[in-house]
Structure 1
Amino acid sequence: MTAETGFFRGKSLGATSLLTFAILSLAWFVGFASRLFAIVRFESIIHEFDPWFNYRATHHMVENGFYNFLNWFDERAWYPLGRIVGGTVYPGLMVTSGLIHWVLDTLNFHVHIREICVFLAPTFSGLTAIATYLLTKELWSAGAGLFAACFIAISPGYTSRSVAGSYDNEGIAIFALQFTYYLWVKSLKTGSVMWASFCALSYFYMVSAWGGYVFIINLIPLHVLALIIVAAMQYARARISRQQFMTLFVGGLTFFGILAVVVYFGLVWGGYVAPFSGRFYSLWDTGYAKIHIPIIASVSEHQPTTWVSFFFDLHITAAVFPVGLWYCVKNVNDERVFIILYAVSAVYFAGVMVRLMLTLTPAVCVLSGIAFSFTFEKYLRDDEKSSTKSDSDRQMYDKVTKKGKVDLGVRAVGTAAASETAEDGVGVNSRSLVSVVLVLFLLMFVVHATYVTSNAYSHPSVVLQSSNSHGDRIIMDDFREAYHWLRENTADDARIMSWWDYGYQIAGMANRTTLVDNNTWNNSHIALVGKAMSSNESAAYEIMRELDVDYVLVIFGGVIGYSGDDINKFLWMVRIAEGEHPKEIKEANYFTDSGEYSVGPHASDIMLNCMMYKMSYYRFAEVRMGYNQDGFDRTRGYVIGKKVRAVFHSRQAICEETIVQDITLEHIEEAYTSENWLVRIYKVKKPENRPTIKKSERQVRLESKRVAKV
């Protein structure tokens, strides 16, 4: 958009550039500031699970160098297998942080690498806004680009992965995604080899930073294929009849589609092409992962997206972006075919997997920017035209009056001017009303985005927050408390068994060896841990001895009402274990007779005697909370199935009461329980040097009494 069109009509090029710079700078600042809620409320800390490994890997690279990082074998992960880190990570995130750290050190700004990791994603949010502006400007206009930049700067769908402390690949990958798309569209419009080279370099950076690069590697060829098909259709349509054209189009599309499928399966069958992963198949069949690979379905971000999530993460832009998509279809050209394909494919994939809402958000922001820009531009342009026309008519009427030549023709001109002025008055009122409504929608979007960012996406998973009856804030720091205990009170080579969700945090904060972690590359190893958690204590002890386990860590939320604990995840442990050990573990055995998953009095005996149940509820019946009875689980909402009981017996005419613990431990012992019972750690007992002798057999019985001879 030039200085003579759109929002910047009548402004000089310098004023236009200054206004653009000011808006983009403000978008960067607002985007950065809105992501700092967690820092202000808590402290500078790494969030979630994956970011802890990314931080640990970055720290290792900074301390030991990039070459050592590429050859790093992590012996603290996946014991006893270990993990080759260099070939199993996307190093773009680590290299970016390390490069920033090196530049600051060179300039004598000595900043700890953790602070760079914490603030990296908020900083890149501003770069993402600029990249979105450049892309939208190439697709439509500068005004639309400014709208899109402001949208993506605070959109909850993008903020969820880029708040301060969320040191994950997506924090920089969305910038690389948008910038690569911009360079692709730019090279397509200009035909310049220079822009194409820049696009290739940006794509290389994108590949090094995020596994979602497959979205680009498929979308760009799809765009090229669409342009080829459109060009062929235009060429054929001018030379054959409409009926022949439709026959050729449908037949050709069917033939090439079948041919592509046959060629693909032939290459897979011949071993020339590797088959798609389970995550890819789950994009086309939402029930595939739950049946064949339950570990994929067990991850919450791999679940299908609900309608509420679309509104929650996109707000008004979810309803507006189809308008922008229609404008692009109505005014289609080569580059707008790209955003059409991008939006349609992203909408489908976001509906299948909630995690892919992240890839939909940039397209929604671009198309919403186009919709708002086109609407405002149309109304503002009409106002200017009507105002200019009214002024010219008024001047003509004044000139005629001054000359005194008020004849019938002049009266006609005056009547026409008055009638147009009245019509313009109605039009101005209508357009003003629509403009005010749109501005209110924009303000509502800002309020919603700020609220969601503050209350939903700015709470670190390692620190929980609650409030008492007086409204005072209560901080529950059980996770870091337990990890610190492990770091200070266990041997340096101690092996910790837990569910894979907590592997990265244990290695990052406790610096101890784990059996499984969030990399989930070995399903059999995870299934073995799930089998140990699902088995009775004796069977689990054999597994733990085979794996050289020293401590077992479980998360239990029954005291404080924390719903993300291991009891609520337990069925996934059972399903994953059943996939590898179907003879020993069966999911149906962990349900009640009525088919309900319960830990209450009606729970099955297998459920009540499994390791997960015992470790979670050991000594729990001794705890009484409020007006609830002993053993009341606040997360599940009922009393547990096993708890302490009173046994009465009489001795010398006196009735005595003995407390008997229903849940007893034989092969493990409680080592540590955090303040709010959220993290419980058990020590695995070492096997005895000799077999246990029953008490009745400990005394040596003499068959005959021997007397010493004098």
Structure 2
Amino acid sequence: MMVRSQAADYGFQLNEFDPFFNFRATEFLVNNGLAEYYAWHDDMSWHPSGRDVSATSQVMLHVTAAATYKIFGANVPLYDFTILFPVVMGSLTAIVVFALGRLVGGTTTGLFAALLYSVSLPVAVRGTIGWFKSEPLGLFYGLLGVYLFLSGIHSTNKKVAVSKIIGGGIILAFGLSSWGGIVFFIIPLGLFFVALPFLRSDSRFLMWAVPLFVASLLLTVLTFERPGLNFLVGIEGTAMIASSSFLVAAYFLHRFIRKEKRLQYTGLFLAGFVVASFVILGVTEKEEGILDLPAFRYLNAMNPFLTTSEPLVDSVSEHATTTLRSSFFFNSVLMIFAGFAIWYLIKKKDEDQRFNIKNDLMVFSLILGLAGVYTASAFIRLELFASISVILLGSIGLCVLVKQFLLPQGIKTPKRITRIIFLGVIAMFLLVPIMLPTDSNWVKAVKGPPTILNGGSNYNVATNDWLDAMGYIKENTPQDSVVAAWWDYGYWISTLGERTSLADNATLITSRIQMIAQMFLSQPDEAHKILQELDADYVLVYVAGQKVSDSGAQQDLYLLNGGGDESKKQWFIRIAEEPLSRYLQQDGTSGTDLFWNETVLGKMFPFSVIAYVNPNTNQQSASYQPGFIPVYVKDIKYPPGGDGPLELVYASPSFEESRSVLIGVFIYKVNEDYAP
């Protein structure tokens, strides 16, 4: 918890964007009850259509947070409670990981798994203090559901088995309603169902246990609007039903086949079943279109080659394509132990009596590992699942190594000093990603200011620029105002500013986001018309940069590429389906003269290029040259009280005070009387 709470050093705030909507939804649920929540149509989002909250949200996240707040909240403000919620859930999930590891490989494996989970970077960065998003609770429910199912099918008490199996299905459904990413567990579970007839002979038990789990999962999912019926009729539900149907059919066939022939005939049956399934699905899909495909980002996870084909999906930083470098950084030395575990389980398990793992649990661990690594190849956010896979396999590998050395088979036990050295080497390996490199190790990587305090910029600073800007909107604009901004800031506007936004991080209406992008890239007169069509009263833009001039200089000089809209404009262009070369120079970031002089976004940035500078030679140029970077000076094009299509009504403190780091939030009022 201490590692994941480092962000509190900068300020006790929610982190990122989605947590602000989740807080607002949880607050509504606490104040109005479940019935009102399910009937809630949020008119402050996606103006003018609004948003059906229960059909488009992670309902179990809001319900669980509201319920636990009612029980444990005492006099703590709900906002503070939701800030602490992720780190508490992360601690509880570590207990579940211990239980899962112990089930698979014994207590030592469980202890290693819990330890590795507690320091894993992909897990930690999505479970820090203030990260009131889907992942922490979704992982808790998802892993708990998987654990209960696996524990249930290994229980000798039928009543206990039934309870665990049903509970596992229900809780896994809770996980799906908390975070759509939990659909990942459908992959290893479905493959595991298919593998069971090859691994276990207790057909009478599994023929009802697995369908019972699937039925409890699907029936519980249907009680939620999301994922709801789409899950049942989509690829995910079809996979669950098909794999469990194969299991039942295969075990039924076992009754008519001699024991020594079962594997051979089950393999032939599987091949026929797969071919028949694809034929049936292909014909019915072509004729009826009955299969409900998931959202693009889920298809992206199944097919990593789609990673650059959808600009809106690719514009999200956490959807960046996974690289080998990032994979090694996220998993580090754990990959060594996981690789050793895979080799050991495949080659040596049957020869070693010191490490007892059931064949079906061994196969599940291997399936989970392969599925996690494959899925994570799509984009960085899914490294979370690769991490879960590596943690389980890595803990098995560590357990095997420790037992191989400390409990040798058929030879003399090593001396005490030798054992101490061996344990020291293992500890040193485990400490490498936590301590090295000193400036970007796993501990340092999760320490940073909440996004609301640094605007999601590249600078490790904490300011009140965004909080003050939202305070201005809340206190100085009419209550029925509509604020246009890039979708990243929609949740902040509706939650902190308490005003209606046009788009937000739910990305529900792609055409609306495209329209906003087109507005920003349009000439001022055309942009004014689009803003009127959108019914917008105010427009917000965000610029992040750094002052590079001395305090005694005649005018402040700035470098702008710090992570604000000035750094996102290439995505505005792609999403608006405009040619990049029209608005950007060869370096892909610097704006062309057309961008600065003819687009409303260029004019809303209160800066102009004064010169281009080569940072290596200090050579200056009045026009862009390859290898040169633009230097800016302040230049407000739509001043307060002006007669243009927009007028600046608010600039955040770091702009007015000329601080060294600029976290510039600029709010413009749409001039209703403007006549082109």
Give TM-score, length-normalised by structure 1: 0.74
Structure 2 residue aligned with 1:96 = 64
Structure 1 residue aligned with 2:371 = 345
CA apart distance, 1:116: 1.3
Q: Structure 2 regions of 5+ residues with no counterpart?
A: 201-249, 350-357, 548-559, 656-663
Structure 1 residue aligned with 2:450 = 460
| Structure with max Cα Rg | 1
**SS of residue in 1 equivalent to 2:377:** helix
Q: Does residue 574 of structure 1 match 2:573?
A: yes
**SS of residue in 2 equivalent to 1:258:** helix
Give TM-score, length-normalised by structure 2: 0.77
Structure 2 residue aligned with 1:521 = 508
Question: Is 248-257 or 276-285 further displaced after alignment?
Answer: 248-257
Q: Is the 8 A contact 1:575 1:587 kept in 2?
A: yes
Q: Is the 8 A contact 1:632 1:640 kept in 2?
A: no
Structure 1 residue aligned with 2:40 = 72
Find the aligned partners of 2:405 and 2:166 in 1 and give their Cα distance.
40
Find the aligned partners of 1:148 and 1:326 in 2 and give their Cα distance.
18
Q: Which one-letter code corresponds to 1:615 in the other structure?
A: M
Find the aligned partners of 2:366 and 2:344 in 1 and give their Cα distance.
10
Structure 1 residue aligned with 2:110 = 145
Residue 313 (structure 2) aligned to one of 296, 312, 328: 296
Once the two structures are superposed, residues 71-107 of structure 1 have per-residue CA deviations (whole angstroms, 9 ceiling, x without a partner) of 11111111111111121112111112111221136xx
Once the two structures are superposed, residues 474-505 of structure 1 have per-residue CA deviations (whole angstroms, 9 ceiling, x without a partner) of 64322112111111221111111111011111
Q: Which one-letter code corresponds to 2:67 in the other structure?
A: L
Find the aligned partners of 2:491 and 2:196 in 1 and give their Cα distance.
45
For 1:556-567, what aligned pairs fall within 5 Å after superposition? 556-559=543-546, 563-567=562-566
Once the two structures are superposed, residues 575-631 of structure 1 have per-residue CA deviations (whole angstroms, 9 ceiling, x without a partner) of 2222xxxxxx44443244xx553535xx25256411211112446769x9x999999
Find the aligned partners of 1:378 and 1:620 in 2 and give their Cα distance.
66
Q: Is the 8 A contact 1:484 1:510 kept in 2?
A: yes
CA apart distance, 1:205: 2.1
Q: Which one-letter code corresponds to 1:121 in the other structure?
A: P
Once the two structures are superposed, residues 275-301 of structure 1 have per-residue CA deviations (whole angstroms, 9 ceiling, x without a partner) of 23312332244453533x321111111
For 1:292-691, what aligned pairs fall within 5 Å after superposition? 293-330=310-347, 331=349, 333-382=359-408, 386=412, 433-447=421-435, 451-464=441-454, 475-559=462-546, 563-578=562-577, 585-592=578-585, 595-599=586-590, 603-605=592-594, 608-618=597-607, 638-639=629-630, 666-677=644-655, 678-688=664-674
Find the aligned partners of 1:304 and 1:104 in 2 and give their Cα distance.
40
Find the aligned partners of 2:484 and 2:619 in 1 and give their Cα distance.
33
- Assess, with a 3 A threshold, how the Cα gap between structure 1 residues 606 and 284 changes in structure 2: closer, same or farther: same
Q: Is the 8 A contact 1:189 1:335 kept in 2?
A: no
**SS of residue in 1 equivalent to 2:430:** helix
**SS of residue in 2 equivalent to 1:496:** strand
Once the two structures are superposed, residues 449-494 of structure 1 have per-residue CA deviations (whole angstroms, 9 ceiling, x without a partner) of 994344444421111399xxxxxx9643221121111112211111
Q: Is the 8 A contact 1:147 1:373 kept in 2?
A: yes
Find the aligned partners of 1:257 and 1:367 in 2 and give their Cα distance.
29
Find the aligned partners of 2:94 and 2:383 in 1 and give their Cα distance.
17
Q: Which one-letter code corresponds to 1:590 in the other structure?
A: Y
Q: Is the 8 A contact 1:553 1:680 kept in 2?
A: yes
Q: Which one-letter code corresponds to 2:600 in the other structure?
A: M
For 1:149-164, what aligned pairs fall within 5 Å after superposition? 149-164=114-129
Question: Is 376-385 or 114-123 further displaced after alignment?
Answer: 376-385
Q: Which one-letter code corresponds to 1:673 in the other structure?
A: A
Question: Is 224-233 or 249-258 further displaced after alignment?
Answer: 249-258
Q: Which one-letter code corresponds to 1:282 in the other structure?
A: N
Structure 2 residue aligned with 1:409 = none
Q: Which one-letter code corresponds to 2:31 in the other structure?
A: E
Find the aligned partners of 2:506 and 2:314 in 1 and give their Cα distance.
15
- Assess, with a 3 A threshold, how the Cα gap between structure 1 residues 218 and 382 changes in structure 2: closer, same or farther: closer
Find the aligned partners of 1:508 and 1:446 in 2 and give their Cα distance.
36
Find the aligned partners of 1:360 and 1:329 in 2 and give their Cα distance.
20
CA apart distance, 1:676: 2.6
- Assess, with a 3 A threshold, how the Cα gap between structure 1 residues 547 and 205 changes in structure 2: closer, same or farther: same
Q: Is the 8 A contact 1:589 1:607 kept in 2?
A: no
Q: Is the 8 A contact 2:610 2:632 kept in 1?
A: no
Q: Is the 8 A contact 1:589 1:604 kept in 2?
A: no
- Assess, with a 3 A threshold, how the Cα gap between structure 1 residues 241 and 159 changes in structure 2: closer, same or farther: closer
Find the aligned partners of 2:46 and 2:306 in 1 and give their Cα distance.
27
Q: Is the 8 A contact 2:638 2:644 kept in 1?
A: no
Find the aligned partners of 1:607 and 1:631 in 2 and give their Cα distance.
15
Q: Is the 8 A contact 1:35 1:458 kept in 2?
A: no
Q: Does residue 119 of structure 1 match 2:107?
A: no
Residue 25 (structure 2) aligned to one of 57, 81, 93: 57
Q: Which one-letter code corresponds to 2:75 in the other structure?
A: H
Identity of aligned residues (%): 26
CA apart distance, 1:303: 1.8
Structure 2 residue aligned with 1:283 = 301
- Assess, with a 3 A threshold, how the Cα gap between structure 1 residues 630 and 484 changes in structure 2: closer, same or farther: farther
**SS of residue in 1 equivalent to 2:435:** helix
Once the two structures are superposed, residues 501-529 of structure 1 have per-residue CA deviations (whole angstroms, 9 ceiling, x without a partner) of 11111111111111010010111111111
**SS of residue in 2 equivalent to 1:493:** coil
Q: Is the 8 A contact 2:503 2:512 kept in 1?
A: yes
Q: Is the 8 A contact 2:567 2:589 kept in 1?
A: no
Once the two structures are superposed, residues 119-138 of structure 1 have per-residue CA deviations (whole angstroms, 9 ceiling, x without a partner) of 11111112111111111111
**SS of residue in 2 equivalent to 1:558:** strand
- Assess, with a 3 A threshold, how the Cα gap between structure 1 residues 252 and 35 changes in structure 2: closer, same or farther: same
- Assess, with a 3 A threshold, how the Cα gap between structure 1 residues 610 and 250 changes in structure 2: closer, same or farther: farther
Q: Which one-letter code corresponds to 1:616 in the other structure?
A: F
- Assess, with a 3 A threshold, how the Cα gap between structure 1 residues 96 and 326 changes in structure 2: closer, same or farther: same
- Assess, with a 3 A threshold, how the Cα gap between structure 1 residues 502 and 453 changes in structure 2: closer, same or farther: farther
CA apart distance, 1:227: 1.6
Structure 1 residue aligned with 2:352 = none
Q: Is the 8 A contact 2:7 2:448 kept in 1?
A: yes
Q: Structure 1 regions of 5+ residues with no counterpart?
A: 1-31, 388-423, 467-472, 579-584, 646-658, 693-710
Q: Does residue 195 of structure 1 match 2:164?
A: yes
- Assess, with a 3 A threshold, how the Cα gap between structure 1 residues 177 and 474 changes in structure 2: closer, same or farther: closer
Find the aligned partners of 2:91 and 2:385 in 1 and give their Cα distance.
17
Structure 2 residue aligned with 1:216 = 185
Find the aligned partners of 1:516 and 1:484 in 2 and give their Cα distance.
20
Q: Is the 8 A contact 1:324 1:368 kept in 2?
A: yes
Structure 1 residue aligned with 2:203 = none
Find the aligned partners of 1:196 and 1:280 in 2 and give their Cα distance.
27
- Assess, with a 3 A threshold, how the Cα gap between structure 1 residues 383 and 589 changes in structure 2: closer, same or farther: same
- Assess, with a 3 A threshold, how the Cα gap between structure 1 residues 501 and 557 changes in structure 2: closer, same or farther: same
Find the aligned partners of 1:669 and 1:491 in 2 and give their Cα distance.
16
CA apart distance, 1:385: 6.7
